[in-house]
Structure 1
Amino acid sequence: MGDFNLALVIVALVVCILIFLFNIYLLINYQHPDDVNQAYFPKIVVVFGLSVAAISILMLPADVANRQACRHALYNGACNLTLPMKELWLGIYIVDALLVFFVIPFAMFYYEGDQDKTVGKRIKSSLIWVGTTAVVCALVLGILYGLIGKVDFTVRHLSSSTLPFPGNNNFQFSSGQPCVGGSNQHQCSAYTASASSEKTWTMRTTFPEYVVALATIVGSFLFTIFGGVGIACLPLGLIVSFIRRPKAVITRSQYIKEATEFGKRARELKKAADSLHQEERNGNKGRKWRKNVKTVEKELLLLEEDVQALEEMYPQGEKAEATWAMTVLGYLAKVVLGILGLIVSVAWIVHIVIYLLIDPPLSSFLNEVFIKLDDIWGLLGTAAFAFFCFYLLLAVIAGAMMLGLRLVFITIHPMKWGATLMNSFLFNVGLILLCSISVIQFCATAFGYYARATAAQEIFGHTLQSLRGIKYLYKYNVFQIGFIVLAGLTFVYYAVFGWRKKKPSGRLQLSS
Structure 2
Amino acid sequence: MGDFNLALVIVAIVVCILVFFFNIYLLVNYQHPDDKNQAYFPKFVVVFGLSIAAISILMLPADVANRQACRHSLYNGACNLTLPMKTLWLVVYIVDAVLVFFVIPFAMFYYEGDQDKSIGKRIKSSLMWVVATAIVCGLVLGILYGVVGKVDFTVRHLSSAATAFPSSWTDYTSNQPCIGSSFHQCSAYAASASSEKTWTMRATFPEYVVALATIVGSVLFSIFGGVGIVCLPLGLIFSFIRRPKAVITRSQYIKEATELSKKAKELKKAADALHQEERSGSKGRKWRKNVKSVEKELLLLEEDVKALEEMYPQGEKAETTWALTIIGYLAKLILGVLG
| TM norm structure 1 | 0.50
**Distance verdict in 2 for CA 1:24–1:143, change over 3 Å:** same
Give me the identity figure in percent: 79
**Distance verdict in 2 for CA 1:75–1:64, change over 3 Å:** closer
Query: Which residue in the other structure is 1:131 paired with?
Result: 131
Query: Contact 1:153–1:202 at 8 Å: present in 2 too?
Result: yes
**Distance verdict in 2 for CA 1:205–1:184, change over 3 Å:** closer
CA distance in 2, matches of 1:178, 1:309: 81
Matched, 1:495 2:337: yes
Query: Which residue in the other structure is 1:117 paired with?
Result: 117
Query: Which residue in the other structure is 1:99 paired with?
Result: 99
Query: Which residue in the other structure is 1:13 paired with?
Result: 13
1:218 aligned residue (216, 219, 224): 216
Query: Contact 2:9–2:82 at 8 Å: present in 1 too?
Result: no
User: Residue 159 of structure 1 aligns to a residue in which SS?
Assistant: coil
User: Residue 81 of structure 1 aligns to a residue in which SS?
Assistant: coil
CA distance in 1, matches of 2:140, 2:210: 14
User: Residue 54 of structure 1 aligns to a residue in which SS?
Assistant: helix
User: Residue 80 of structure 1 aligns to a residue in which SS?
Assistant: coil
Amino acid at match of 1:12: A
- 1:350-396 CA distance string (max 9 Å, x none): xxxxxxxxxxxxxxxxxxxxxxxxxxxxxxxxxxxxxxxxxxxxxxx
Counting only pairs closer than 5 Å after superposition, residues 227-376 of structure 1 correspond to structure 2 as 227-231=225-229, 256-263=254-261, 301-307=299-305
Question: How far 1:186 sits from its partner (Å)?
Answer: 6.9
Aligned residue pairs total 315
- Which of 25-34 and 259-268 deviates more? 259-268
Asked which structure has the greater CA Rg, the reply is 2
**Distance verdict in 2 for CA 1:303–1:157, change over 3 Å:** farther
Query: Which residue in the other structure is 2:84 paired with?
Result: 84
Higher relative contact order (CA 8 A, sep 6+): 1
CA distance in 2, matches of 1:7, 1:250: 65
**Distance verdict in 2 for CA 1:186–1:143, change over 3 Å:** closer
**Distance verdict in 2 for CA 1:181–1:116, change over 3 Å:** closer
Query: Contact 1:154–1:200 at 8 Å: present in 2 too?
Result: yes
For structure 1, which runs of at least 5 residues remain unmatched after alignment? 275-280, 285-289, 343-493, 499-512
CA distance in 2, matches of 1:314, 1:12: 55
Question: How far 1:264 sits from its partner (Å)?
Answer: 5.3
- 1:187-218 CA distance string (max 9 Å, x none): 63423433333222111111111222222233
Query: Contact 2:177–2:186 at 8 Å: present in 1 too?
Result: yes
Query: Which residue in the other structure is 1:22 paired with?
Result: 22
CA distance in 2, matches of 1:236, 1:5: 50
User: Residue 18 of structure 1 aligns to a residue in which SS?
Assistant: helix
Matched, 1:205 2:47: no
**Distance verdict in 2 for CA 1:162–1:181, change over 3 Å:** closer
User: Residue 191 of structure 1 aligns to a residue in which SS?
Assistant: coil
Question: How far 1:311 sits from its partner (Å)?
Answer: 7.0
CA distance in 2, matches of 1:68, 1:169: 37
Query: Contact 1:179–1:187 at 8 Å: present in 2 too?
Result: no
Query: Contact 2:160–2:184 at 8 Å: present in 1 too?
Result: no
Query: Contact 1:102–1:130 at 8 Å: present in 2 too?
Result: yes
CA distance in 1, matches of 2:145, 2:76: 37
| TM norm structure 2 | 0.71
CA distance in 2, matches of 1:166, 1:109: 74
Question: How far 1:97 sits from its partner (Å)?
Answer: 0.9
Question: How far 1:263 sits from its partner (Å)?
Answer: 4.3
User: Residue 193 of structure 1 aligns to a residue in which SS?
Assistant: coil
Amino acid at match of 2:119: V
- 1:389-422 CA distance string (max 9 Å, x none): xxxxxxxxxxxxxxxxxxxxxxxxxxxxxxxxxx
Question: How far 1:99 sits from its partner (Å)?
Answer: 0.8
CA distance in 2, matches of 1:47, 1:204: 36
Question: How far 1:71 sits from its partner (Å)?
Answer: 1.5
Query: Contact 1:2–1:81 at 8 Å: present in 2 too?
Result: no
Query: Contact 1:250–1:313 at 8 Å: present in 2 too?
Result: yes
CA distance in 2, matches of 1:165, 1:6: 45
**Distance verdict in 2 for CA 1:77–1:155, change over 3 Å:** closer
Question: How far 1:8 sits from its partner (Å)?
Answer: 1.6
Query: Contact 2:157–2:197 at 8 Å: present in 1 too?
Result: yes
CA distance in 2, matches of 1:45, 1:315: 45
Query: Which residue in the other structure is 1:436 paired with?
Result: none
Question: How far 1:234 sits from its partner (Å)?
Answer: 5.9
CA distance in 1, matches of 2:72, 2:253: 68
Query: Contact 1:180–1:186 at 8 Å: present in 2 too?
Result: yes
Query: Contact 2:160–2:178 at 8 Å: present in 1 too?
Result: no
Question: How far 1:20 sits from its partner (Å)?
Answer: 1.3
Q: CA RMSD in A?
A: 4.8
Amino acid at match of 1:136: V
Amino acid at match of 2:158: L
Query: Which residue in the other structure is 2:50 paired with?
Result: 50
CA distance in 1, matches of 2:313, 2:6: 54
Query: Which residue in the other structure is 1:277 paired with?
Result: none
Matched, 1:31 2:21: no
